[in-house]
Amino acid sequence: MCGLSSETATAATPTELPPCAGWGTDPIVATPKKAAKKAAAPKQPGTKKRRGVTLQPTALTAPEVPLAEPPVELAEAIAAAGGAVIGAYREPLGGHALVFASLPVDKVEPTPFQRDVSDAHVRKLTVAMDKTRRFLDPIIAVHEGEKFWTPNGNHRLTALKELGATAVVALVVPERKVAYQILALNIEKAHNLRERAIEVVRMYRDLSRFDDRKESDCSLEFEEPLLVTLGFAYEKRPRLSGGAYGPILKKVDKWVEAPLAEAAKEREKRAALVLELDDAVSEAVAKLKARGLQSPYLKTFVVARINPLRFIKGEPPPLEDLLPSMAKRARGMKTEGIKVEDLARTGGAPEEE
């Protein structure tokens, strides 16, 4: 046993101890304790790096943002429509030119592919503008023929018209393609699944007339493949309960790697499969209602019962096989043993109608 006097122990350094008899002459080096891991300091707002974001912004300083002259063709189009250029500048991220202008309200229209106006939303805006006597949120506009399209300002435009205003201030974008990309930038009001799908299919129809890109090349505009399929289905059945089928389509629906005009044929087929499944699910729901079972989640309940994806590990079957098999299950579904308690355990929001 090696002993240390109190003096020796005191004199020894924390990392080196004197040799002990029979243990060799090399000193024993004590391993220092690991330093406690410091908690990472919380990142300051605006410094977080988002996954998938690769943008390298311009180095424009605040005094360099204004433009002395607006783009000539755009300024001429604004004047021809009876509007006036207020100013021009380069937006600080990509350096793209924008024109701040006043436009006659009767020369501004919504894009033909955006969602329909919500009367409740317009009323709220109209009342707010009436109380404040101010319009402080310029719309976005793109030049289209003899008029201008607004891809994200239809509610504000409608409210201005109801209040009797004859002019609207707008940020006019030279590139027409922004009219299709604006959905990705629009956070004015959350779209529900139906609204998003209808906007996407309207965009799809419009772009397919002159754009030969593949669907995947339009992923910014269309967001997800399921929105395209549901949009085509909503065209045939406006009151489709798309929310009941959205989670399934999210797992099995893919982009059609073909030009839009050609891919539309495939989308029609997929939409037809969704409607066929909806018919079968509706039959099962009718059987449940005939037994006196009532719930806002009936379709969700039936779809959950016939959905095999929860039991499948790995790659799911293709949409073309899955949806017909689910429709077959729905038609053969035994409803006699289903109880109210079974329905009560169904979670989620009611299906959209």
Residue 97 contacts residue 71 (beta carbons within 8 Å):
yes
Picking from 133, 158, 184, the residue at the C-terminal end of a domain is: 184
What pLDDT is recorded for position 81?
A: 94
What pLDDT is recorded for position 11?
A: 45
**One domain, residues 203 and 334:** yes
Distance CA 191, CA 64 (A): 36
**One domain, residues 329 and 256:** yes
Q: Is residue 16 part of a domain?
A: no
Picking from 184, 202, 221, the residue at the C-terminal end of a domain is: 184
Q: Is residue 55 part of a domain?
A: no
Q: Is residue 19 part of a domain?
A: no
**One domain, residues 198 and 320:** yes
Half-sphere exposure of 191 (CA within 13 A, CB side): 20
What pLDDT is recorded for position 4?
A: 45
**One domain, residues 248 and 148:** no
Q: What averages of pLDDT result for each successive group of 10 residues across the chain (353 residues)?
A: 44 45 47 56 70 80 92 93 94 90 94 81 88 89 90 89 94 82 55 86 89 89 92 94 92 94 95 96 92 84 90 90 95 82 59 47
What pLDDT is recorded for position 72?
A: 92
Picking from 184, 215, 237, the residue at the C-terminal end of a domain is: 184
- Rounded to two decimals, the pTM is 0.57
DSSP bridge partners of 147? 144
**One domain, residues 214 and 340:** yes
Residue 109 contacts residue 161 (beta carbons within 8 Å):
no
**One domain, residues 273 and 339:** yes
Q: Which domain holds residue 199?
A: 193-344
What pLDDT is recorded for position 188?
A: 46
What pLDDT is recorded for position 191?
A: 65
**One domain, residues 205 and 340:** yes
